[in-house]
Structure 1
């Protein structure tokens, strides 16, 4: 019965999209795969790009107008090839009826032509070889793929790879190929972005960051930065791995091809008993794991049956230099008996590496190495100075304010060691062996007029900080009637961060806690093996701010609208005559609306912003308009929503109303513009009309601070210029990120700059492309600002580097 149920589920699932289809790559204009920029070339020395060119012989069996041209360089690898990027052809799966793939080739030499399919996770479904038998004319090669149906990787196939001339070459050769044809069950439509998988590159162009650990704290196996031990590399143990020495950006690296496994055998066993980590830098375009094995000769200095081995497996990222810093405890956790004073072999291996893997800076160290290549466990700069008004603050510890008197780290049985340090002329608290630590005011604190508690922190390895408040419950002394609440916050590493914790977070955990008799604060950390630094601990009336980082209100006005009045119906704007409306009518919302003037410009200020209405005194006929527009300013909202309510021709609220709500992602910290076409509303609710609009409803997601709105009006035509529209529609992802930030725009991006939280520029890219990829793999963890220029307009956005 279970088998039948599973079969039915699979059958029902397959009916959702998949269908038998003949796939063809013909290189004729407009067909899938015909765009040469969607193909990657690999292992071909300088990797000249694939070209789509006129057919060299259209009079023969192949009459196509255009074909693909691949130049195999004599200096390239014999397995040099080209691959269409992932998802460009869609996705498919092979079934029993899918028995062959054919490709037409025109070659000047007789040599092997190898083809393969790859799935979306870079798994190879098949790799088949067949030589051509003719030269200087078209020939169709057919490969039997029937056995690939049973492959465990036969799922989500989305890439075709061809090695047009798999041979050792003494001269450059040209191969043309065309009419790649196979049948399969399609599971996704063509047109992917090509951003994933092994096609994203096959060799680095830059060098990893040089190690900075002191030479006295290192035993180096391979690195320009140190003196290396003598060793035999890639000894003949039956592996297929080919190892070569390469220089990239003036830096020596080890290049591993056909990488299954490879050994490093020191001329004398290594005594690493004084070390704590093994480190290496790696670069791969497609491997998913790197494995490091230690072989302990167990004190006799020679290979033998008494050896002890332990292998650690690490997931890796692709297309940028990464760092592994593996503690010895990871090896002892796998094989308890392994020791590190007689290491006779190191064995490296990779999972999923069809392209070359590059390795550099293999060394033992006494301390963990960060992704930037250094052993940074302490800050060198100070956090931003708080800017909250003194009268709105109760300070526990900060140079910016007068602190209350308190006992720090009182003896409650903790292991924590607390010391006062000065960093960049700024006093900070340094917590070592940080389990937990208390702060005990000399008199309980009345924080009932405050809204938040804030602190700045710096950690190299903690994953969480915890803040506990202890309420003495009105009697001013410790006792059984105390009430406690602890809030846990995830933290970033390698740069100063700020926690702003609303006091409501504590009441959400312990409803009975009050803030007028706080007798203790308790700080603790998760995962902190290195010191944690704390600064600027204070209560504040501000929900967010006071850390010198984030403003909660604008200081300038948005740009005034320029649309002609005849093309506008205005709800709220200095530029036009507004309709009469009821604002924020009582519909049960918590939203508080106030009229404010900023830079001599009236704006609407929405606090506790859940939703709010605008009800015109007479319904609006906007049928001659095409867009609704507004300017917004927010410090923390992630989305704004605009709902139109159509009274459906009778001019009154009723059951026949039609509603449509459009949700828009917004930027923070500066005035933004939404110009929403009516088609966005009809796409959501097809029946909505715009000749009897009786209500507008605004709402926000994630807005803990006020949201400011200005210039709400209907217009005939968008109010976004080309450049502003490009800024509004830009896509920045992933965020948070580890290795790369992608910027996609509808217009060409001229320039991108990256700034750290201190305002220092850390990267500049001059470009002229709609897609920009920024390598941030070597950045310290923390928050960064992107500043990008499109059509002479400037946009900004924040991202988090993990």
Structure 2
């Protein structure tokens, strides 16, 4: 049986429209039943609850400066200095202008009244030593009453205030928040755990002022280039030799120093001052020198002194000046000639300062320049006399027991020469207090000969000479006997030299030497040469008198 297909086609839309209509009615009915104000799920946002603001309880802390300090809920324990006839105070209070760069609610307000010191300030301790190995700039927001006021930030070691560094900045606007930057260096790492702040440093404190500050943080800033190698002395400075009775010492291990000197007064300097030890010797170190003062506890009268001595060492400075300051203040500078990598001993005539500075009233010492400077042996002094003012002692040995070469007391034998042509010294015949004296300067050695009248000292027991020196550190005396043939280098010459180490200076020393001490002088019948030598070679000066043999 065949099945037949109809040829009538029904359009699909004819079937769909009734279905769409029925669905629409259903949606309308459902919508009417559920009608409310809720938006479609895809657009719904739940309302946020109102924030609950909790009032923080302010507490005192040791701040960690690496995390910043904003005074909103905590702050450090503050101490003050320099009140004098006024007062200092600080409170954590409402921001006077919560706009611009600082919208904080709470800030620090520091008030200075009339009569405080120009260097008055505040300080607080930190939780630990500051790490500058990464960020090297400390930033501070300040709201100052005037522009062009110095704000000085000083960092200290809380256990040793001599370890410190100061950096200053300056306000540029009044009654408006600004951020000041204070740049240190990587070498300052792990040195400082106390922060000291001076507002309007060195300014006239003639009226009450309030400085607001906030948001102390470490941040990006300029970087101080550190040298790859830093030099410092490995040997101590030369030990002074001037007698303490002729010295007023400011800083030296060799002398008793004037008491209670302040080697690091707060003058707004950037210099970091410390006292260190070099080879067992105390030394002052001025790092990052711009200027540095020293304040004496009482005025020093140096009018009876003639010289100022300073030892300095530097590896990187190109400029160094020293100042004496008397009341007024009155000051004048001395410019050092810089030599690096070694200790330099500088002796400055006080006459260089005396036309300006009152030498009876020296209150301060100051240095300025650059680089890092090491200082030692700072003292006023009178240099030892270079010539004796009194004659040598008069000998008491009877003339009959003496063979004299040179003395006003005795009859002298003929001497060929008091300076041979092979000598290394200058000879001058001088008179001291009416007494004839030989002066040998620039001395290495000097030969005195009696070749034509050789001395028979066989019956004598001692050799005597009087010597005065201001600078010799060693004296040597040699006797030479030409032997029985009386000829130099004749095969029987004998000699011996005596050494006097560290002879007393600036006074006559009477050397009465047993001839038995000249052990190499095995014969004494033809003594033809006497030789004096000294150190330092070529620069020593000897004054000679009363040269004789005796028994």
Q: TM-score, normalised by structure 1?
A: 0.28
Q: TM-score, normalised by structure 2?
A: 0.39
Larger Rg: 2
Flag the structure with more relative contact order, 1 or 2, with Cα contacts below 8 A and sequence separation at least 6. Answer: 2
